[in-house]
Amino acid sequence: MGSGGLAVLAENSCAPGLHRGQNLTLARVPVKVRFAPSPTGSLHLGNALSAVANRRLGDWMLLRIDDTDPARNVPGGEKAILRDLEWLGIAWDEGPARQSDRAERHREVGAPLGDRFDGTTLLREDGSPTYQLASVVDDIDFGITHVVRGNDHRPNEALHRRLFDALGATPPEFVHHGLILGPDGRKLAKRAPGGSVASLREEGIPAEAVRAYLEELGMPRHDVQLDLPRLRRLSTEALAGLSDEELAARVGVPVSVAPVLRGARDLAEARDYATLVLEPAETKVDSPETLARFRELVEAGIEPRALVRELKAVGGDLKALRLALTGRERGPELAAVIAALPRDELLRRTALG
C-alpha cells in the first residue's frame, strides 16, 4: 500500500440498517499512478520530484516512456532515466512501456475522433499519434486513477478531460505540484548546478540525500527554489549514517581508509581525501624536530588522537606533519590520516634526510 494512498469511505450516517456511530468496512480503491518522462537524457530534478511523489502516492506505478516526438528523443535517454530511478531507489510495478510501441492501439482508440479534436492534432500526417492522444489512451488502458505531475502540465488538463469524456472513460484525478526553480526565479535549467540527477551524482551527492530532499519537498502547492545548501547538509548526514564498510565501498577504497572519509561532505570530497592518503604528493618538509618527535610517538604505539595532542603540547608543527603525510596543507582530520596509514608507511613518509 502506498504511504499516500487514498481511502474511499462510505457515509455511515446514511447507510441503511446501521445505527449512527457504527463503523462501516473501508472500501479502498487502489491508487494507480504513472511516471511518464520523455527519453531526453538524465532526469531533470523536477521530473525526479514527480517520480518520488507518484511512488509515495501510488499503490501501483507504471513507468511510461513518452517518446511520441522523435525530434526530442535522445540516444541512450531511456537508459539514463532507468539508471537515475534505480539510483534513487524508485521502483515501478510495470514498464517501461514505450508509447511508440503502442501507436497502433492509440490510432484504434482515437479513430472515432478523427485526426483533430477541439482544434488539437491527434494524428500527424504520417499517421503517428501525438502526445495528447497517446497519453489519454494509455491512462485509460492502464487504469490510471491519479495523474501527478508538475504545474507546467496544468494547461493539458482541460483537453485531456474532454478526451476522456469523448472516449467514454472516467478521467483520473489530476494533481499538479509546484516546480523547482533556479536562483533566477525561473524553472530550473537542466544544465544548472543541481539541475539533473546525473549532475548531482557526478558531484558526489549520495542517492540517499537526493531522495531525502525530494521527499521533504513532497508535492509543493507552489513553486520552490532549489536549496543546494540543504542538499549538501543532507549529503553530510547521509555519509555519516553509512558504516565504514559501506562508505569505503562507495568511494572504492580499502575499509582501512574509512576514518579519513568521515569528514567529507560528499563522495567526491571523500575520494579526494582518500587520494591524499593513498597517493600523496611528494613534498619536501623542513621541520625535523616535529617529524622526529612524531616518529618516536609512532614507534611507541601512541594512539592517533593522543599523538596529535602530544605534538600540540610541545609546540609541534602540525601543518608540516600534514604536508609530510598527505602533500597538502588542508584536508581530513590529522588524527584520521594517521589512523588510516600503517605504521611503516607513517615512518616512511616522515623519514628525515
Q: Is residue 11 part of a domain?
A: no
- Compute the average pLDDT of residues 274-280: 91
- Among 216, 231, 261, identify where a domain stops: 216
Over residues 226-235, the pLDDT tens digits come to 999 999 999 9
Q: Which of 327, 330, 347 is nearest to 338 (CA)?
A: 347
Q: Are 128 and 258 in a shared domain?
A: no
Q: Is residue 233 part of a domain?
A: no
Residue 177 carries which DSSP code? Answer: E
Q: Are strands 120-121 and 94-98 parallel, antiparallel or unpaired?
A: unpaired
Mean pLDDT computed over every residue of the chain: 91
User: In this structure, what is the dihedral angle of CA atoms 127, 129, 133, 139, given to the nearest 10 degrees?
Assistant: 130
> What φ, ψ does residue 338 adopt, rounded to 5°?
-65, -40
Q: Is residue 205 part of a domain?
A: yes
Contact present, 43 and 176 (Cβ < 8 Å): no
Contact present, 101 and 69 (Cβ < 8 Å): no
Q: Are 159 and 304 in a shared domain?
A: no
Q: Are 162 and 50 in a shared domain?
A: yes
- Longest alpha-carbon distance in the chain: 98
Q: Is residue 222 part of a domain?
A: no
Q: Residue 15's pLDDT is what?
A: 33
Q: Is residue 290 part of a domain?
A: yes
Beta strands in 70-172 (DSSP E): 94-98, 116-117, 120-121, 146-150
Q: Are 68 and 190 in a shared domain?
A: yes
Q: Are 108 and 249 in a shared domain?
A: no
Cell numbers for 129: 499519434
- Among 161, 195, 216, identify where a domain stops: 216
Cell numbers for 61: 506505478
Q: Residue 24's pLDDT is what?
A: 44
How far is residue 278's CA from residue 272's CA, in Å, rounded to a whole number? 10
- Compute the average pLDDT of residues 196-222: 97
Cell numbers for 54: 507518484
Contact present, 9 and 24 (Cβ < 8 Å): yes
- Compute the average pLDDT of residues 293-321: 96
Q: Are 172 and 45 in a shared domain?
A: yes
- Whether omega for the bond prior to residue 96 falls within 30 degrees of 0, making it cis, is yes
Q: Is residue 207 part of a domain?
A: yes
- Among 195, 216, 237, identify where a domain stops: 216
Containing structural domain, residue 209: 32-216
Q: Are 152 and 84 in a shared domain?
A: yes
How far is residue 253's CA from residue 275's CA, in Å, rounded to a whole number? 9
- Compute the average pLDDT of residues 290-304: 96
How far is residue 115's CA from residue 133's CA, in Å, rounded to a whole number? 10
- pLDDT over threshold 50, residue 167: yes
Contact present, 260 and 276 (Cβ < 8 Å): yes
Q: Which of 68, 168, 167, 69 is nearest to 114 (CA)?
A: 167
Contact present, 63 and 138 (Cβ < 8 Å): no
CATH number, domain at 178?
A: 3.40.50.620
Q: Can you list the alpha helix ranges (DSSP code H) found in 58-156?
A: 77-88, 103-110, 131-141
Q: Are 257 and 310 in a shared domain?
A: yes
Over residues 65-114, the pLDDT tens digits come to 999 999 899 999 999 999 999 999 999 999 999 999 999 999 999 999 99
Q: Is residue 238 part of a domain?
A: no
Q: Are 206 and 251 in a shared domain?
A: no
Q: Residue 27's pLDDT is what?
A: 64
Q: Residue 155's pLDDT is what?
A: 96
Could you tell me which residues are beta bridge partners of residue 120?
117
Cell numbers for 267: 563522495
User: In this structure, what is the dihedral angle of CA atoms 169, 172, 178, 182, given to the nearest 10 degrees?
Assistant: -60
Q: Are 72 and 158 in a shared domain?
A: yes
> What φ, ψ does residue 2 adopt, rounded to 5°?
-65, 145
Domains in the chain: how many in total?
Answer: 2
Q: Are 189 and 324 in a shared domain?
A: no
Q: Residue 26's pLDDT is what?
A: 54
- Compute the average pLDDT of residues 61-65: 98
Q: Are 206 and 261 in a shared domain?
A: no
Q: Is residue 201 part of a domain?
A: yes
